[in-house]
Amino acid sequence: MNTAVPDVVVIGGGVIGLSTALELQGRGLAVTVIERDPDGHSASTGNAGAFAFSDVEPLAAPGIMRRAPGWLLDPLGPLSIPPAYALRIAPWMLRFWRASWRDRHAGAVQAQAALMAQSQTALERLVTATDAGPLLRREGQLQLYDNAASFRASLNGWENRRAHDITFELIEDNPARIAELQPGLDARFRFAAFTPDWFNVTDPGQWHAYLRDCFLARGGQFRRANARALRPSLDHVNVETDGAPIRAGHVVLAAGAWSHHLARTMGERLPLETERGYNTTLPDPRFRQKTHLSFADHGFVVTKVGQGIRVGGAVELGGLHLPPNYRRADVLLDKAKAFLPGLNAQGGTQWMGFRPSMPDSLPVIGRSITAARIIHAFGHGHLGLTQSAGTATLVADLVTGVRPAIALAPYRPDRFAFARLAKPHLREN
């Protein structure tokens, strides 16, 4: 069904926007996606490709603030704050710290687990509906620890996962078992955890393109446009753009790390920041990777992408405008060479992407604070691919007036204080 005025406009053609657009379309609605940079390399095309359904532990976990200063002392370590951004990020860090307290953390684990379960079911449905099975690799994940102390420190998190029926195998001082799961690792690794139900896309860029093709093939509209402001009224929403305004019955705001700018144009102040991440994709790794590898103490992963291997991770709290510091990608690659001694690291392509992140590691999914016809769907941090299909079903429930299968309170846009501005900002800043 295509009408001049779409039922729904989705702002943002990343994995959240496209998954949501497909779900809305499946429910019989006319959907237009607007994207300002259709050929760009957003977080959704360059990520590590993991459906990390077992990652129910939010980053803001008890003890993190004791570990963080050590990481921050190393300017090229797994967590960094460029001095030029330190003041800007301080309020977000304060909320992150509060979210790591035991009382809040327990609730966040519950919420994360509920969204993971919803997402896994929704993804399997999406894969069947779109024949996307060949775009997945079901090979599990091996999480590696440097030593007994760091393995033991992780056990609490594994207990949390057990409570949510996540299947895993703990490997304690057993290099033979590690070598069986992944030959070719450096002998230092004696402690690990294996999550067999974890899976990956064969290539995040290909997955993203496939979602877009499915959406277009089913009659969806995809327009290049830069949304500048949202103007809701009782029975519709106007999206102001650089060109003519676009009118719709509902708007889904899925603009990744830029979403809060558009929310501000309606008078909403949401503590969205970006955790910038880096990676290098190696075209000819000459390493037979059997499973997704995560190096828990170093904040990076090694994953198969197409015929190559992608090495990446790290968190740089540096905002949207500072230039990338690709030394971070170099450092991760150096570590990968040490941990996988046979790896051919020649000819790699470096990339930096913007994870859209809230202080409590939970996304924002819910009606806008100021306008019922605008649904927020952003802030998925490290887990946007993983939670894309589940987010899509919840957003579609809100648009179509169906009661969502899980409680949405933990993801509400107004869960942090001072969420309303006295006056809307007239334009995206």
Ligand X SMILES: Cc1cc2nc3c(=O)[nH]c(=O)nc-3n(C[C@H](O)[C@H](O)[C@H](O)COP(=O)(O)OP(=O)(O)OC[C@H]3O[C@@H](n4cnc5c(N)ncnc54)[C@H](O)[C@@H]3O)c2cc1C
One residue of 359, 384, 410, 413 binding ligand X per CB under 6 A = 384
Beta carbons of 108 and 362 less than 8 angstroms apart? yes
CB of 22 to ligand X, least distance (A): 13
In the complex with ligand X, the residue whose CB is nearer, 367 or 380, is 380
Q: Does the protein bind ligand X through residue 58 (CB under 6 A)?
A: no
- Out of 54, 154, 182, 279, which residue is the one contacting ligand X (CB under 6 A)? 279
Cβ burial 336-347 (10 Å sphere, 16+ → b, else e): beebbeebebee
Is residue 316 at the binding interface for ligand X, with CB under 6 A as the rule? no
Beta bridge partners of 273: 357
CB 295 within 8 A of CB 191: no
Which of 190/237 has CB closer to ligand X?
A: 237
The least distance separating ligand X from the CB of residue 187, rounded to whole angstroms, comes to 27
* By CB under 6 A, residue 47 contacts ligand X: yes
Residues in contact with ligand X, counted by CB under 6 A, come to a total of 43
Answer yes or no whether residue 305 interacts with ligand X by CB under 6 A.
Answer: no
With binding defined as CB under 6 A, does residue 411 bind ligand X? no
Angle, helices 388-400 vs 15-26, to 10°: value is 50
Residues 172-231 contacting ligand X, CB under 6 A: 226-227
User: Residues 6, 140, 220, 312: which binds ligand X (CB under 6 A)?
Assistant: 312
385 binds ligand X (CB under 6 A): yes
| 201: region left, alpha or beta (phi > 0 left; psi from -120 to 50 alpha) | beta
Write the CB contacts of 182 (distance below 8 Å, at least 6 apart in sequence): 142, 289, 290, 291, 293
Strand 349-357 to strand 169-171: parallel, antiparallel, or no bridges (unpaired)?
unpaired
Using CB under 6 A as the binding rule, whether residue 360 contacts ligand X is answered as: no
Pick one of 361, 368, 386, 393: the residue that binds ligand X (CB under 6 A).
386
Pick from 32, 42, 265, 393 the residue near ligand X by CB under 6 A: 42
Distance CA 9, CA 35 (A): 11
Stretch that binds ligand X, among 14-22, 137-145, 214-222, 393-401 (CB under 6 A): 14-22
Give the interface segment with ligand X, choosing from 32-40, 62-70, 144-152, 172-180 (CB under 6 A): 32-40
Residue 382 in contact with ligand X, rule: CB under 6 A: yes
* Adjacent-strand bridge partners of 305: 308
Give Cα 97 distance to the centre of its chain. 20
State yes or no: residue 304 binds ligand X (CB under 6 A): no
* Segment contacting ligand X by CB under 6 A, of 28-36, 190-198, 322-330, 416-424: 28-36
Q: Work out whether 255 is an interface residue with ligand X (CB under 6 A).
A: yes
- Asked if 268 is part of the footprint of ligand X (rule: CB under 6 A), the reply reads no
Which residues in 329-358 contact ligand X (CB under 6 A)? 353-356
389 near ligand X, judged by CB under 6 A:
no
Q: Which is nearer to ligand X, 45 or 182 (CB)?
A: 45
Distance, in Å, from the CA atom of 251 to the CA atom of 265, rounded to the nearest integer, reads 14
Q: How far is the CB of 383 from ligand X (least distance, A)?
A: 4
* Contact present, 96 and 333 (Cβ < 8 Å): no
Query: What is the C-alpha separation between 428 and 76, in angstroms, rounded?
Result: 32
- Sign of the alpha-carbon dihedral angle for 365, 303, 211, 28: negative
- Between 102-130 and 204-217, two packed helices, what is the crossing angle to 10 degrees? 60
Radius of gyration from C-alpha coordinates of the chain: 21
Residue 267's nearest CA partner among 419, 390, 375 is 419
Q: Is 407 exposed, middle or buried (0-12, 13-18, 19+ CB in 10 A)?
A: exposed
CB-nearer residue toward ligand X: 32 or 47: 47
Which residues make up the interface to ligand X (CB under 6 A)? 11-17, 34-37, 40, 42-44, 47-50, 52, 226-227, 254-258, 262, 277, 279, 312, 353-356, 378, 380-386
